[in-house]
Amino acid sequence: MHAMQYRITLPADYDMEIIRHRVKSKGHLLDDFPGLGLKAYGIRERGVDGSPVNQYAPFYLWAAPEAMNRFLWGPGFQGVVRDFGRPVVEHWQGLAFEFGPSRAAAPRTAVRHVVSVPVGADPSGGGPAGAVEGALDELRESARTDGVHSTALAVDPRRWELLRFTLWEDAAPPDAPGDRYQVLHLSTPDLARLPKGRQW
């Protein structure tokens, strides 16, 4: 599993209805894209849920790396580049994926939480393994929370950052840390191919 996101920050006075219309008219185009586990069409609106910015920020979980390549070098992403310029594409190696109690619901909210893995995070001398194991335990626990559709854990070993991305049926709890997104559409053509649980 590979996680991927690009975050396109828009002007403060940008009409976010333009993005809503874009997703409404084009979001279904990836509903049958082979190798895509899920794509959450996320937006942030300035002044909503504490967001300081307007942002279009789709998040992807890929069941197959060749599918991610096919998307990035294909017409779908070239349309993003044409309309918004070439964004930085963040990507992470998948560590774990879990469904929650609201798997059958259409999620309306997503939360992205990124934390750094501190040097010496594992007192036993095993490097960052202790931090990863702790994050896995937290993921399993949060996956049992009412309202969770699904949740994923991934790592960027270049920057030593852990990412947790959680989809919620409705609003996320107020104490859930991280950036909050409204989910306008969810494409899940190969959701069943995403490996469940720990991925090594």
Distance CA 142, CA 165 (A): 11
Please check the confidence at residue 122 and state whether its pLDDT lies above 60. no
Residue with tokens 């409705």: 170
What tokens appear for 183 in the block? 């989910």
Q: Are strands 161-168 and 109-116 parallel, antiparallel or unpaired?
A: antiparallel
Sign of the four-CA dihedral 189, 30, 167, 127? positive
- In this predicted model, what pLDDT tens digit does every residue of 57-97 receive, in sequence order? 999 999 999 999 999 999 989 999 999 999 999 999 999 99
Under the banding of pLDDT at 50, 70 and 90, the label for residue 128 is: confident
Under the banding of pLDDT at 50, 70 and 90, the label for residue 129 is: confident
Distance CA 108, CA 120 (A): 38
